Chain A
Amino acid sequence: MKPANQVRQWVNGIGAVAVTALILSGAAPGLAQEGASVSVSAPLVKGTLPVDDPTAAIWSTAKPAKFPMSPQVHWPNRILETTVKDVVVRALHDGTQVAMLVEYADPTEDPDDAAAIEFMVGDKKAHFAHGQPMMQVEGGPVNIWYWKNKDKKGVDMNAQGFGTLKIQTHQDVKATGAFSNGTWKVVFTRPLATEHADEDTQLIPGGFINIAFAVWDGRKDGSGDLVEKGSQKAVSSWWYFRAEAPPDYSGYYYAAFATALALGFQFVLIRKLKKGQAA
């Protein structure tokens, strides 16, 4: 075959593959589903984490995850309507600390406005409602990071069922809230790992763990009583959290190596076949 002809054939071959790939990739976005988030991902950042700044510009680099909220109905005292309908969550980590920004709409700033993040601890599953005991499954405790507007701090707690909430003797969680234009932004910070693995959730970069959220609107009713308090709060179901591991490009290296190997195999095979024909 003439070289010019051969080049044309190669171009045709590559063209056919490219056209097929374009058609397939054009069809793919239509198949991808648009839906609510299932996980919060904390990218690894270099430099300082915005540990006490809910409005820092760097938060925009973290992908927001939106989770719907329901009133806590699982256990009395329940509530059937709550103020907050969704939370938007962003997270960042620097390899030693994690910072999570919980953002939600609340028409008024009240001293008793509060928010919390809940995690499972260790390998045992825990019920999303305060680690309520389960009848056929041996459950574990939950670790709760709690913030209340008037306290201006984070509180590190554990529970294993309603009525068992306990403040830990060692406090690792910091929290700061900022209210503006009907929106709360609350930052929770904690070291990724702590020395109390039986009480604190351990955040290992790369691994998925369960996470849930709770919010209390601190407004009062006509007689001056809090409408949302204790177990009367807005809650989310269990979702996932992951502190991202440093980028791992090994998949690309393996793929490039495999492609080169396949090309080499093709080359050798065809050369052998051509020699065989000539003989």
Chain B
Amino acid sequence: MGMLTKPAILLVAMYLFLKFVVPNIPGSAPLPASLIFLYLMLVTAGIVIFYTMSSESKDAFWGPIQRFLTGENLGVLSTARYALLVLFPLLVGWQTFGSTAVSDAPPAENRTIHPAPPGEYTGLSNPVSKTPENIMQGKGFYAAFCSPCHGGNFDGKGPAARGFNPPPANFSDPTTIAMLQESYLFWRIKKGGVGLPIEGMPWKSAMPRWEVELPDEWIWKIIMGEYDGAHQSPRTWE
């Protein structure tokens, strides 16, 4: 079995490296299982090629595998051999079932939560000055127009929110307005759900198109009220 220890250690080490080390390299991301599987198959192919380069190493490599499969003088490992003989056909059957059976699940949806705004809405700055009065007024507008869905606590849990999918944004969550510029909010409030591009799935959003009902100045004040009330700041490029 000695000959198999090294390849086994190599495969395990490779798996641990791909699974736990690679995602932590700066600028990297977790690898999908299918890619890890592909890399491990390549490593396996490399190992087989390496060990079959000379006839001695080939015998040393295949010998233990052959003895394991034929069950010759295995001792304690016999149970493992029979388990493998049962498991392998079952696994093949299971995989085949998984790839051929009709799925009961509805189609997967891949909605982009913060799609790119149209060009004319990038980099606009809030023309309303940040005075306590304006912020206060913005919070008043927020309470009247926005809080039924986005919540009096800016947490997306307003009394009218329960039926909506996607749910109204939670502004106190650091991954919503804190990641966005004021001009982005201006676009989303003005054009509402129906203004989203296709990757934002506009047909599902209940967000009103507020440009029909509110003047721009009110919208800018609402944005100030939202950031202040949710204890967040707009994203800046500094």
Cα distance A13–B87 in the bound complex, in angstroms: 9
Stretch of B46-54, B154-162, B171-179 that contacts chain A: B154-162
Q: Is the CB of B195 within 8 A of A74?
A: no
Known A-B contacts A129-B206, A136-B198, A238-B203; A12 and B79 likewise in contact (beta carbons under 8 Å) = yes
- Is the pair A133, B194 in contact by a Cβ cutoff of 8 Å? yes
Q: What 6 pairs across the A-B complex have the smallest Cβ distances?
A: A13-B82, A251-B101, A70-B163, A259-B93, A255-B97, A258-B96
Residue B7 lies at the interface, judged by CB distance under 8 Å to chain A: no
- Cβ-based interface call for A274 (8 A): yes
A13 to chain B minimum Cβ distance, whole angstroms, is 2
Q: State which of A9, A256, A270 has its C-beta within 8 Å of the C-beta of B70.
A: A270
8 Å CB contacts to B: which residues of A249-279?
250-252, 254-263, 266, 269-270, 273-274, 276-277
* Among candidates B82, B90, B160, residue contacting A71 with C-beta atoms closer than 8 Å: B160
Residues of A bordering B, CB below 8 Å: 1, 9-10, 12-14, 16-17, 38-39, 41, 67-71, 73-76, 78, 80-81, 85, 120, 125-129, 132-137, 139, 206, 208, 234-240, 242, 245, 248, 250-252, 254-263, 266, 269-270, 273-274, 276-277
Say whether A1 contacts B194, CB under 8 Å.
no
B185 within 8 A of A: no
- Which residues on the B side are within 8 Å of A261 (C-beta)? 92
A41 to B201, CA, bound (A): 23
Instruction: Answer whether residue B83 sits at the interface, using C-beta atoms and an 8 A cutoff.
Output: yes
Residues on B with beta carbons closer than 8 Å to the beta carbon of A9: 71, 78-79, 81-82
Interface residues of B in 139-155 (CB under 8 A from A): 148-149
The residue of chain A having its C-beta at the shortest distance from the C-beta of B82 within the complex is A13
* Cβ-defined contact, A125 with B203, below 8 A: yes
Name the residue on A nearest B101 (C-beta): A251
Q: Chain B interface secondary structure, helix, strand, loop or mixed?
A: helix
A69-B162, A74-B206, A251-B97 given; A14·B194 CB < 8 A: no
Given contacts A71-B160, A129-B206, contact A136 B69 (CB under 8 A): no
CB < 8 Å neighbour of B69 from A245, A251, A270: A270
Determine the chain B residues whose CB is within 8 A of the CB of A270 once the complex forms. 69-70
Q: A85 with B106: in contact, given A13-B85, A134-B203, A266-B89 (CB under 8 Å)?
A: no
Known: A17-B86, A262-B88. A255 touches B164 (CB 8 A): no
> With contacts defined as CB atoms under 8 Å apart, how many contacts are there between chain A and chain B in the complex?
169
B229 at the interface (CB under 8 A from A): no
Interface flags for B103-139 (1: CB within 8 Å of A; 0: not) read 0101100000000000000000000000000000000
Cross-chain contact of B89 among A13, A125, A136, A259 (Cβ < 8 A):
A259
Asked whether B202 lies within 8 Å of A70 as measured between CB atoms, the reply is no
* Min CB gap B36→A, angstroms: 20
B159 CB contacts on chain A under 8 angstroms: 80-81
With A85-B162, A135-B194, A136-B198 already in contact, the answer to whether A250 and B100 are too (CB < 8 A) is yes
Residues of A contacting B203 in the complex (Cβ-Cβ under 8 angstroms): 120, 125-128, 134, 137, 139, 238
B83 and A137 contacting across the interface, CB-CB below 8 Å: no
Partner of B106, one of A14, A208, A266: A208
B69 CB to closest chain A CB, in angstroms? Answer: 6
Q: Which residue of A lies closest to B165 (CB)?
A: A237
List chain A residues, Cβ under 8 A from B196.
134, 136
A127, B202: Cβ atoms closer than 8 Å: yes
Q: Are B100 and A277 in contact (CB under 8 A)?
A: no
